[in-house]
Amino acid sequence: MRLWQIIALTILTHTVFNGTRMLVSLYAIHLHASPFTVGALMSSFALLPMVLAVSAGRLIDRVGARWPMFVASLAVALGVLLPFIWPRLPTLYAASTLIGTGFMVFHVAVNQVVGAIGRPQDRATNFSWLALGFSTSGSLGPLLTGLAIDSIGHVQTFLLLFVFPLLPLIVLWLNRPALPRARERKADADKPRIIDLLRSRDLRRVFIASGLLSMGWDLYTFVIPIYGSRIGLSASTIGVIMSTFAIATFAVRLVMPLLVRRVREWPTITAALLISAGSYCLFPFFTSVSLLMTLSFVLGIGLGCAQPMVMALLYSTSPPGRQGEAVGVRTTVMNASSATLPLAFGALSAALGMGPVFWSMAGLLGAGSYFVNRRRRRS
């Protein structure tokens, strides 16, 4: 398969994942769930992926990406269908777990495939195009979901999103495409251990930076539906605000393929952390839709510019034949934040309001930018 075809399948799958995270939050709120319950549901998207990501990466390194991508698409499709068949709050936990785990496997596989395409010097550019695909679906998912909720209701929107993973299932089953694979490990290599990856200073820095950026992304997805509902915004308006964030990531990633050979990775990541911290500081002071859209756009610029750099660094610093496993470790770090942050910040917002949630995230991102910049200067 060519790069654009892989990206097209990714857009379809990620549209479902991104849309259902918003849909599950708003449907739970519609069912009078507390902020802590909404946080628990968001954590369900990440709990099993946090545990299984490294094993998924090793499996993909060993057997290739096609069958894991097919099974992942099937899990996502079933997860979206469940709340349509049984529209109850407990069903949302099962749906969140299926969709989150399925997308995790798909995500690890796609990153391994894209990293194996072309020459090493093309890697950052290829990941920039993949990131652009994620931005496309990141914009489409919330916008489509918000409009559908207001038009046809929460339950029917699950059925609408069920259509999206069907094409990846058909393509991967019927066409049996040959997907690129990373260079294999030597036959006499030692049994892989996670600690070997964590001992690498370069990889540790990538994992830490990636985890912080993921925390910023996950908190936005979790907190904006709650914040928007509290200040009286409709589902469509919340979807438009969240789509503005995704449009910003799309815009910055559109120019990234032209910039990746002119800018360095770590200064870009440091700037992304600082921009994101500043944006989160300002959110609690505004209720105007236009200003929330502006802040979302700035935050999207900050978080969106860093991912291609992170993935290129991750792939280039990983040991041969362990790229999928390294992506799995990164995914574990990301899902650890996805599993714990909604619970922690859901409890914090219930006790103290939304302001401390935004400001706590700003503090973490600001501290991360200092840490990353200090480490970069020492190396």
| Mean pLDDT within 18-47 | 86
- What DSSP assignment string belongs to 263-318? S-HHHHHHHHHHHHHHHHHHGGG---HHHHHHHHHHHHHHHHTTHHHHHHHHHHHS
Model confidence over 199-252: pLDDT tens digits?
777 777 888 888 888 888 878 877 888 888 888 888 888 888 888 887 888 888
* Residue 33 or 118, more confident: 33
CA distance linking residue 249 with residue 271, whole number of Å: 15
- What DSSP assignment string belongs to 30-74? HTT--HHHHHHHHHHTTHHHHHHHHHHHHHHHHH-SHHHHHHHHH
Q: What is the mean pLDDT of the chain?
A: 83
Structure-block tokens of residue 77: 């499709």
Structure-block tokens of residue 165: 């993973």
Model confidence over 100-151: pLDDT tens digits?
999 999 988 998 888 777 776 677 778 888 888 887 887 788 889 988 998 9
Q: Which residues contact residue 121 at a Cβ distance below 8 angstroms, ignoring those fewer than 6 apart?
A: none
Model confidence over 164-177: pLDDT tens digits?
999 999 988 887 76
User: Residue 50 burial (CB < 10 Å; 0-12/13-18/19+)?
Assistant: buried
Question: In the chain, what are the domains?
Answer: 3-175+195-378 (1.20.1250.20)
Model confidence over 331-345: pLDDT tens digits?
787 777 667 776 777
Q: Look at the block and give the residue holding tokens 């041969």.
A: 320
Say what percent of the chain tops pLDDT 70.
90
Cα angle 247, 250, 252 (rounded to 5 degrees) comes to 110
371, pLDDT greater than 90:
no
- What DSSP assignment string belongs to 334-372? HHHHHHHHHHHHHHHHHHH-SHHHHHHHHHHHHHHHHHH
| Mean pLDDT within 51-61 | 84
Q: Look at the block and give the residue holding tokens 């990141």.
A: 138
pLDDT (0 to 100) of residue 49: 84
Q: Pick from 162, 114, 150: which is nearest to 12 by CA?
A: 162
187, pLDDT greater than 70:
no
CA distance linking residue 270 with residue 302, whole number of Å: 10
pLDDT (0 to 100) of residue 161: 94
CA distance linking residue 377 with residue 379, whole number of Å: 6
180, pLDDT greater than 70:
no
Structure-block tokens of residue 331: 């995914």
Query: Integer distance in angstroms from the first to the last C-alpha of the chain?
Result: 39
